[in-house]
């Protein structure tokens, strides 16, 4: 049994050994086969790599050859272009040399010609001097005397031409400007229906009887002294029956005094304490009237955002007059006329109205501040925040300053229209006579004027010129010069017509 078992074990061992030997031999064979396959693949890969290397070298050589050919071609082209440029430069240099040579020849020719001309000028100058000497001997006049005679003649002819030219220019300008201006102003006047009342502030208070004068004066004059001290107004009690007069340069104070005195007369209780009470109440009432009047004016003209102090000054114009024309009514009319003209021209109507309403505010305080009312008004408007356009319109409406905008010209025109209306203003007899005398004096100050007469209430000056002024051009220039001098030296509403008359009479008697 044991032998059988050993035999079995030995058989298994021998079988295992044989199996292991077989597997080992099989693996060796596989390894040798794989090794030979790898050697074959490596050999093929080396061959392919060698072939690719040869191909790449061939391609590189071809590319290098191509690039070399391109470079050589470009170099040849550049070389050809450089050669062409060199040939062009050589041609230009040759041309410049030729031109320089020609210029040198011409310069020499010009120098010679210039010398010849200078020589001829010297000869001509000598001949001219000889001719002038001969002419002076023949004419028995020096060259200076001849020049003076010629200048006088030329000046005379120039005056003639200037006069004719002025007349032509004025007529040409008037053909269009006058027609358009008349249309605009006529439209403005027709649409502006401001009523005109020629106001004169006559500070006269009527009394029920002359006995009231004694009560106003009071015992030892205490009532009248109190009244004058509190109001700042002179109370004049004279022989005028049943009336007393109030005098003051301040229109607001004069209105306060008038209202106070009327209330005292109606009340009948006239003594210092009552006078003080009535005056205080009247001052408040007048201030209320000033504000209400100004606000009504602003409402009527459609003006907004007005400074309060400026509003009060506008209201004070209610108590101010100029040549009998109420200053506030005049300002309102100027505002309306200026606004209408601005609307016709396509401009800012509100700005034109504002400028027109404010143009005379200086008159409300000109009794307190030195200077022309236009300048005072411009300073006030500037102080209270008005724009530069409106300030210039106020300052320029009487030509105290040059107008800088169209609104300044519109306000000046509207002011002239309002002031020159028939019945709008009136002046004192003395001022009227002085204005006529000044008008005639200006006309007579010119050479060639024989007589001068101011007619039509100073709206025309008729001038009789001397017969020596026989040329139409000289007459036109003389009329122009007189009109300009009147504009410079006089102030007047509207316009003044200057008419020149020349008359020559020849009289002979048959005997």
Extract the tokens encoding 170. 């004025």
Contact 426, 196 (CB under 8 A): no
The whole-number average pLDDT for the span 85-98 is: 87
CA distances from 344 to 187, 276, 409 (A): 9, 53, 14
Whether residue 480 is contained in a domain is answered as yes
Does the pLDDT of residue 47 top 60, yes or no?
yes
Nearby residues of 467 by Cβ (< 8 Å), 6 or more positions away: 502, 503, 504
Whether residue 371 is contained in a domain is answered as yes
Do 466 and 363 lie in one domain? The reply is: no
Residue 209, helix vs strand vs coil: coil
pLDDT of residue 493: 59
DSSP for 308-324? Answer: HHHHHHHHHGGG-EETT
Whether residue 185 is contained in a domain is answered as no
Do 382 and 411 lie in one domain? The reply is: yes
Between 372 and 24, where is the model more confident? 372
pLDDT of residue 349: 87
The tens digit of pLDDT for each residue in 116-150 reads 888 888 888 888 887 777 777 776 667 677 677 77
Does the pLDDT of residue 152 top 60, yes or no?
yes
| Dist. CA 280–CA 282, nearest whole Å | 5
Between 34 and 452, where is the model more confident? 452
Does the pLDDT of residue 379 top 80, yes or no?
yes
The whole-number average pLDDT for the span 421-447 is: 72
Domains contained in the chain, number: 3
The whole-number average pLDDT for the span 40-57 is: 84
Do 448 and 381 lie in one domain? The reply is: no
Whether residue 215 is contained in a domain is answered as no
Do 480 and 331 lie in one domain? The reply is: no
Backbone angles phi, psi at 453, to 5 degrees: -135, 125
Return the minimum-mean-pLDDT range out of 30-39, 110-119, 263-272: 30-39
Does the pLDDT of residue 478 top 70, yes or no?
yes
Do 298 and 351 lie in one domain? The reply is: yes
Q: Could you tell me which of 336, 79, 385 has the C-alpha nearest to residue 188?
A: 336
Do 448 and 409 lie in one domain? The reply is: no
Whether residue 238 is contained in a domain is answered as no
Backbone angles phi, psi at 395, to 5 degrees: -70, -30
Q: Residue 462 forms beta bridges with which residues? A: 453, 499
pLDDT of residue 345: 83
pLDDT of residue 197: 38
| Dist. CA 439–CA 434, nearest whole Å | 9
Do 408 and 279 lie in one domain? The reply is: yes
The whole-number average pLDDT for the span 386-414 is: 85
The whole-number average pLDDT for the span 399-405 is: 82
pLDDT of residue 143: 66
Which residue among 419, 453, 481 closes a domain?
A: 419
Which residue among 419, 445, 471 closes a domain?
A: 419
pLDDT of residue 175: 66
The whole-number average pLDDT for the span 396-407 is: 83
| Dist. CA 486–CA 335, nearest whole Å | 28
Residue 442, helix vs strand vs coil: helix
The enclosing domain of 290 has a CATH number of 1.10.3210
Does the pLDDT of residue 393 top 60, yes or no?
yes
Long-range contacts for 269-277 (Cβ within 8 Å, ≥24 apart)? Answer: 270/215, 270/216, 270/218, 270/223, 271/218, 271/223, 272/222, 272/223, 272/226, 275/223, 275/226, 275/227, 275/230, 276/226, 276/230
Do 348 and 460 lie in one domain? The reply is: no
Residue pointed to by tokens 């169209």: 406
The tens digit of pLDDT for each residue in 175-188 reads 666 566 656 655 55
pLDDT of residue 199: 39
Do 270 and 371 lie in one domain? The reply is: yes
The whole-number average pLDDT for the span 280-299 is: 86
Does the pLDDT of residue 358 top 60, yes or no?
yes
pLDDT of residue 179: 61
Does the pLDDT of residue 109 top 70, yes or no?
yes
Q: Is the pTM of this model over 0.75?
A: no
pLDDT of residue 178: 59
The whole-number average pLDDT for the span 59-83 is: 87
Does the pLDDT of residue 324 top 70, yes or no?
no
Return the minimum-mean-pLDDT range out of 68-72, 89-93, 158-162, 248-252: 158-162
CB atoms within 10 A of CB 445: 12
pLDDT of residue 96: 87
pLDDT of residue 200: 44
CB atoms within 10 A of CB 330: 28
Does the pLDDT of residue 374 top 80, yes or no?
yes
Do 414 and 433 lie in one domain? The reply is: no
Looking at every residue in the chain, the average pLDDT score rounds to 79
Whether residue 46 is contained in a domain is answered as no
Helix (H) or strand (E) holding 417: helix 406-419
Whether residue 200 is contained in a domain is answered as no
Do 473 and 448 lie in one domain? The reply is: yes
DSSP for 141-188? Answer: --HHHHHHHHHHHHHHHHHHHHHHHHHHHHHHHHHHHHHHHHHHHHHH
Confidence band for 366, pLDDT divided at 50, 70 and 90:
confident
Return the minimum-mean-pLDDT range out of 50-59, 159-168, 203-212, 271-280: 159-168
The enclosing domain of 440 has a CATH number of 3.30.300.30
Does the pLDDT of residue 506 top 70, yes or no?
no
Do 266 and 354 lie in one domain? The reply is: yes
pLDDT of residue 196: 40
Which residue among 366, 393, 419 closes a domain?
A: 419
* Residues spanned by the domain of 163: 141-177
The whole-number average pLDDT for the span 238-252 is: 79
Contact 380, 363 (CB under 8 A): no
pLDDT of residue 183: 60
Between 347 and 166, where is the model more confident? 347
Residue pointed to by tokens 């017509």: 497
Confidence band for 198, pLDDT divided at 50, 70 and 90:
very low
pLDDT of residue 421: 60
Contact 401, 422 (CB under 8 A): no
Whether residue 38 is contained in a domain is answered as no
């Amino acid at each position: 049994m044991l032998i059988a078992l050993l035999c079995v074990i030995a058989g298994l061992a021998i079988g295992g050994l044989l199996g292991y030997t077989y597997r080992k031999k099989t693996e060796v064979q596989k390894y040798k086969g794989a090794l030979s396959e790898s050697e074959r693949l490596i050999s093929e890969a080396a061959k392919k790599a060698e072939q690719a290397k040869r191909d790449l070298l061939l391609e590189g050589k071809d590319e290098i050859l191509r690039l070399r050919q391109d470079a050589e071609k470009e170099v040849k082209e550049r070389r050809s272009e450089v050669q062409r440029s060199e040939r062009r430069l050589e041609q230009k240099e040759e041309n410049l040399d030729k031109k320089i040579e020609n210029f040198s020849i011409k310069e020499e020719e010009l120098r010679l010609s210039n010398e010849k001309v200078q020589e001829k000028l010297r000869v001509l100058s000598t001949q001219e001097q000889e001719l002038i000497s001969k002419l002076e001997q023949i004419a028995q006049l020096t060259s200076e005397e001849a020049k003076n005679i010629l200048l006088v003649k030329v000046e005379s002819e120039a005056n003639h031409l200037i006069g004719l030219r002025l007349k032509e220019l004025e007529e040409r300008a008037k053909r269009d400007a006058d027609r358009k201006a008349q249309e605009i102003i006529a439209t403005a006047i027709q649409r502006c229906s401001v009523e005109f009342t020629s106001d004169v502030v006559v500070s006269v208070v009527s009394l029920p009887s002359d006995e009231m004068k004694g009560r106003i004066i009071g015992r030892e004059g205490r009532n009248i002294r109190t009244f004058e001290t509190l109001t700042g107004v002179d109370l004049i009690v004279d022989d005028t029956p049943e009336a007393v007069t109030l005098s003051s340069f301040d229109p607001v104070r004069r209105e306060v005094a008038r209202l106070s005195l009327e209330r005292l007369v109606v009340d009948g209780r006239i003594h210092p304490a009552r006078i003080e009470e009535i005056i205080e109440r009247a001052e408040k009432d007048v201030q209320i009237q000033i504000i209400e009047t100004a606000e009504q004016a602003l409402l009527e003209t459609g003006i907004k955002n007005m400074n309060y102090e400026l509003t009060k000054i506008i209201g004070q114009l209610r108590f101010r007059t100029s040549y009998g024309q109420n200053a506030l009514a005049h300002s309102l009319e100027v505002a309306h006329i200026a606004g209408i003209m601005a609307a016709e021209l396509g401009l800012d109507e509100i700005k034109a109205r504002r400028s027109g309403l404010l143009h005379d505010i200086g008159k409300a305080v000109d009794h307190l501040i030195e200077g022309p009312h236009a300048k005072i008004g411009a300073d006030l408007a500037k102080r209270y925040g008005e724009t530069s356009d409106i300030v210039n319109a106020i300052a320029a409406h009487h030509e105290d300053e040059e107008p800088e905008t169209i609104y300044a010209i519109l306000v000046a025109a509207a002011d002239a229209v309002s002031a020159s209306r028939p019945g709008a203003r009136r002046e004192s007899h003395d001022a009227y006579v002085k204005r006529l005398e000044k008008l005639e004096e200006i006309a007579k100050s010119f050479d060639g004027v024989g007589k001068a007469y101011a007619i039509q209430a100073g709206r025309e000056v008729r001038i009789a010129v001397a017969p020596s002024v026989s040329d139409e051009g000289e007459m036109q220039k003389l009329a122009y010069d007189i009109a300009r001098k009147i504009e410079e030296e006089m102030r007047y509403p509207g316009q003044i017509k200057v008419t020149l008359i020349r008359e020559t009479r020849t009289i002979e008697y048959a005997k």
